[in-house]
Amino acid sequence: MARPEKPKTIAAYPRRRLFCACPQKTSDMAVMLSLEEFETLRQIDYLGKSQAECATQMNIGRGTVQSLYAEARRKVSRFLIENLDLSISGGNFALQSLSPEDHQKENARKGNHFMKIAVTYENGNVFQHFGQTTQFKIFEIEENKVVKSEVIDSNGAGHGALVGLLSGLGVNTLICGGMGGGARNAFAEIGLEVISGAVGPVDQQVESFLAGHLETSPEHECHHHEGHGEGEGHCHGGHCGSGHE
């Protein structure tokens, strides 16, 4: 009996999964790039890691990395040369979120890339319970500097509505206090970066994040029970109650 294939660890879903070769579609064919193939490109070509380092990060052998990487480059070449669409999906993988330090390093590498950061907000400080936040402060970033900021109302209760709100606003990164597993998984699905455990003045946290030394505290994270629905659950004094039996 054949041994089951081992899942490859990826750090995050790509922010965009479909790329079109030209405005007018000329073919129904698309190049299909698996998520683990994409991960080898991200680590080796984008982050500058060696194949050995990539193998360690993905929890697989170096030979497997070599095969995935070669196939990924071949597919991207076809996308660029043959006027085909490129779709990133599927594969045999396990998701592992980036640490706050890796998030900051990766954003620092983006240089002039425009981005939006949202922070849970209450009276100038980071609000500690994501699912109950009534306001966010939104920061627009260019050249790693804040060019605009505004406080907005959440217009919804529960993590489902909040995930949809931030996605619709084009937010790239969320900084918050505590967050439950349901919301964290929902953000992972759309490729929005989450940095939890932040404490203190909102503006200061964003400046620290952009400078690459935002400090977070696991003690301020609340761990919600699985199955919290929108509007359910409440946290008190750093502990999470389900609001239901």
| CATH code of 83's domain | 1.10.10.10
Residue pair 62/55 in contact (Cβ under 8 Å)? The answer is yes
Low-confidence winner among 23-27, 72-76, 172-176 (lowest mean pLDDT): 23-27
Low-confidence winner among 8-22, 41-55, 74-88, 171-185 (lowest mean pLDDT): 8-22
pLDDT in tens, 39-91: 999 999 988 999 999 999 898 999 999 999 999 999 999 988 888 888 887 77
- What separation in angstroms does the CA of 141 have from each of 23, 110, 145, 163, 208? 28, 11, 5, 20, 13
**Is 244 inside any structural domain?**
no
Alpha-carbon distance of 190 to 183, in angstroms, equals: 11
Low-confidence winner among 174-178, 207-211, 216-220, 221-225 (lowest mean pLDDT): 221-225
**Is 20 inside any structural domain?**
yes
Residue 28 and residue 148 share a domain: no
Q: Who's near 127: CB < 8 A, 6+ residues apart?
A: 120, 121, 133, 134, 135, 176, 177
DSSP assigned state of 133: -
Res 156 pLDDT > 90: no
Question: Which residue has better confidence, 39 or 28?
Answer: 39
3-state helix, strand, coil in the chain (%, to 5): 35, 25, 40
Residue 152 and residue 78 share a domain: no
Residue 136 and residue 59 share a domain: no
Residue pair 160/230 in contact (Cβ under 8 Å)? The answer is yes
**Is 50 inside any structural domain?**
yes
Q: Who's near 210: CB < 8 A, 6+ residues apart?
A: 107, 141, 144, 145, 146
Q: What angle do CA 243, 125, 141 make, to 5 degrees?
A: 115
Token pair listed for 158: 């529960």
For residue 168, the enclosing domain spans: 100-237
Residue 126 and residue 79 share a domain: no
Residue pair 198/118 in contact (Cβ under 8 Å)? The answer is no
Residue 84 and residue 18 share a domain: yes
**Is 3 inside any structural domain?**
no
- Into how many domains does the chain fold? 2
Does this model's pTM top 0.85? My answer is: no
**Is 31 inside any structural domain?**
yes
Q: Which of 54, 70, 95 is the last residue of a domain?
A: 95
**Is 4 inside any structural domain?**
no
**Is 243 inside any structural domain?**
no
Question: Which pLDDT score is estimated for 204?
Answer: 93
